[in-house]
Amino acid sequence: MKIKLGIIGFGGMGKWHAQNAPRAGVEIAAVCDIAEEKQKEAVEMGYKLYKTADELLADPEVNTVILTVPNYLHKDMCIKAAKAGKNVITEKPAALNVQELDEMEAACKEAGVFFTSHQNRRWDKDMLIVKKAYDEGLLGNIFTIESKLHSGNGYMHEWHLYKKYGGGMIYDWGVHLIDQILFMMPDAKVKSIYADIKNVLHEEVDDYFKIILKMDNGVTAHIELSTYILKYQPRWLAAGDKGTLIVDDFGCHGSIYRTGKLLEKLPPQITETEAGPTRQFAPVPPGGIVEEPLPEVETDWVDFYRNVDDVLNGRAESKIKIPEVRRVLSVMEAAWKSAETGEAVLFE
């Protein structure tokens, strides 16, 4: 079957799907939005327009919908779409909590339609570089991974400012950052979760969080996001007993660092530094650490739609399964509990 997509919500992400899904052979069958300005844009761009979701769901040409509406609408829209016989893709987060997701999954199963979430950042090149290093043992036994995302832009906008609409950064980027860590290590179980969640500039919703996941494979993952840290740190750091990997930014600048032969042969000695005498933290001599390029990876966000097409035509399994989406939401719920109590939460 050919995917004939209905886009419910024609904001920034709705337009992204309209412009990019066709690269995977998807036909944009219709779009809808309740805002007059966005309706006008859709008509000017040549799309079939509906002014309500109900009208779009009644269109027999539409066989799949993508929900690019505020987070609090996902559950009701998903259930309504399933009852209309449409395959359902939600933007992330798929739901506001595990209970909502379970209701959505049940409705889709009852209707016999496909259901997934657009966790597009599983195709981010920066993350896939770290995953490749993990999968191929390029750093030896990894003991820590840091995923950090900082911005000096400060304030959020539109409905993201309000708790009742599912605003805040954990619902926005937190879903992605948690999903990336769990996707990177699919066979590892989370043992415990500690979280610090703050409202730095925003009254209602979080704009800073630090989440620490202790995994049963010996990795401790640190996830930190802020909309108001003004000097950015590397996007990724992964350290193992055979090297350290740094990815500086989304542009994937960075290197792998290893101990050079010179450093391995140095005798133990105390060195005077600006901080006083030290042996372990003395400056590394020239040649003591060697630098290697990051591993190469090829990726494309539109592979998400290629996979959906394969699933609907019986050629593959979904790369984003609902139990995986559920696990991310469970981690988010545990993080909120930890932040509330100030204590680590045991998990799984």
Q: Please return the burial class of 248, using the count of CB atoms within 10 Å of its CB with bins 0-12, 13-18 and 19+.
A: middle
Is residue 337 predicted with pLDDT exceeding 80?
yes
Burial class (CB in 10 A: 0-12, 13-18, 19+), 241: exposed
Q: What's the confidence (pLDDT) of residue 260?
A: 81
**Tens digit of each residue's pLDDT (9 = 90 or more) over 95-115:** 999 999 999 999 999 999 999
pLDDT of 267? 65
Q: Write down the pTM of the prediction.
A: 0.95
The 10 Å Cβ neighbour count of residue 279 is 9
Please state, rounded to an integer, the average pLDDT across all residues of the chain.
95
Instruction: Name the band, by pLDDT with cuts 50, 70 and 90, for residue 265.
Output: low
Q: Are strands 276-278 and 289-293 parallel, antiparallel or unpaired?
A: unpaired
pLDDT, tens only, 51-105: 999 999 999 999 999 999 999 999 999 999 999 999 999 999 999 999 999 999 9
> Which comes out higher in pLDDT, residue 329 or 265?
329
- For strand 64-67 and strand 4-8, is the pairing parallel, antiparallel, or unpaired? parallel
Mean pLDDT of all residues in 19-47: 97
Residues of the chain with pLDDT > 70: what percent? 97
The pLDDT tens digits of the residues spanning 181-205 come to 999 999 999 999 999 999 999 989 9
Mean pLDDT, residues 223-248 taken together = 96
pLDDT at 328 over 80: yes
* pLDDT digit string, tens, across residues 269-314: 777 777 777 767 777 778 889 999 999 999 999 999 999 999 999 9
On whether the CB atoms of residues 239 and 143 are closer than 8 A, the answer is yes
SS (H, E, C) the chain: CCCEEEEECCCHHHHHHHHHHHHHCCEEEEEECCCHHHHHHHHHCCCCEECCHHHHHCCCCCCEEEECCCHHHHHHHHHHHHHCCCEEEEECCCCCCHHHHHHHHHHHHHHCCCEEEECHHHHCHHHHHHHHHHHCCCCCCEEEEEEEEECCCCCCCHHHHCHHHCCCHHHHHHHHHHHHHHHHCCCCCEEEEEEEEECCCCCCCCCEEEEEEEECCCCEEEEEEECCCCCCCCCEEEEECCEEEEECCCCCCEEEEEECHHHHHCCCCCEEECCEEECCCCCCCCCCEEEEECCCCCCCCCHHHHHHHHHHCCCCCCCCCHHHHHHHHHHHHHHHHHHHHCCCEECC
Q: Does 264 have pLDDT greater than 70? A: no
